[in-house]
Amino acid sequence: MPDTGTKATWLFALIGVALLISAGLMFYRDNQLAVRGLTATGTVIDFRQGRTYRNPTAGQRDADPNNFPDYRAPVIRFTAEKNEVIQFAALLGSVPDGLKTGDSIPIAHLPEDPSGAEVKGSPRLNTGIWAFSIVGGASLLPAVFMIVVPSFGRRQAGKAAMGDRRRKR
């Protein structure tokens, strides 16, 4: 029966593989949007309002620590190929950038999933992809060394023992 250290190693390996697969799927979806995405023109119908995050310790340096800038994310409506009306909010909020209600804006979407539309040409942070890749790799790499190196050592020891037995004959 494997010891607790081996079980923990396999658990880390499993977590690492799961995170790397998740990052791969997110990358695949983004890539599909870039390669196969259809373009349409949407209309800004509203803005989702919110406050930006600011580090609480940074407020100690500001003259007015409660003066957080607002961000606005446009809520966009467009009609897909099958005359389906889709409405979505842009993923990345923006400080007021000149967009107004009623403005036209280019969007991209997959033919089979128009509800997953995004603003065409919007900056892509890929934060999730990078985070999952880094944490997945950080979990998987030590686990691989802890699994492969001992098994490689046992195999080398087995070969040496076989060589000793052959020499004795």
- Asked whether the predicted pLDDT for residue 33 surpasses 70, the reply is yes
**What separation, in Å, do the N-terminal and C-terminal C-alpha atoms of the chain show?**
34
Tell me if 11 is assigned to some domain.
no
Tell me if 161 is assigned to some domain.
no
Q: How many folded domains does the chain comprise?
A: 1
With 0.85 as the threshold, say if the pTM is over it.
Answer: no
Tell me if 85 is assigned to some domain.
yes
Predicted local distance difference test score (pLDDT) of residue 99: 81
Tell me if 2 is assigned to some domain.
no
Q: Domain range holding 72?
A: 26-122
Predicted local distance difference test score (pLDDT) of residue 163: 56
Tell me if 156 is assigned to some domain.
no
What rounded mean pLDDT belongs to the chain?
A: 78
Quote the distance between the C-alpha of residue 73 and its chain's center.
20
Quick: pLDDT tens for 49-104: 766 555 555 545 555 555 555 677 889 999 998 889 999 988 766 544 678 899 99
Predicted local distance difference test score (pLDDT) of residue 86: 92
Task: Please state, for a pLDDT cut of 70, what percent of the chain lies above it.
Answer: 67
- Asked whether the predicted pLDDT for residue 159 surpasses 70, the reply is no
Query: How many beta carbons lie within 10 A of that of residue 18, not counting itself?
Result: 14
Q: Is 147 left (phi over 0), alpha (psi -120 to 50) or beta?
A: alpha
Under 8 Å between Cβ of 99 and 74: yes
| Residue predicted with more confidence, 100 or 152 | 100
Tell me if 146 is assigned to some domain.
no
Tell me if 58 is assigned to some domain.
yes
Q: Compute the C-alpha angle 11/137/19, nearest 5°.
A: 65
Nearest CA to 117 out of 69, 53, 74, 153 is that of 74
Tell me if 102 is assigned to some domain.
yes
Predicted local distance difference test score (pLDDT) of residue 76: 92
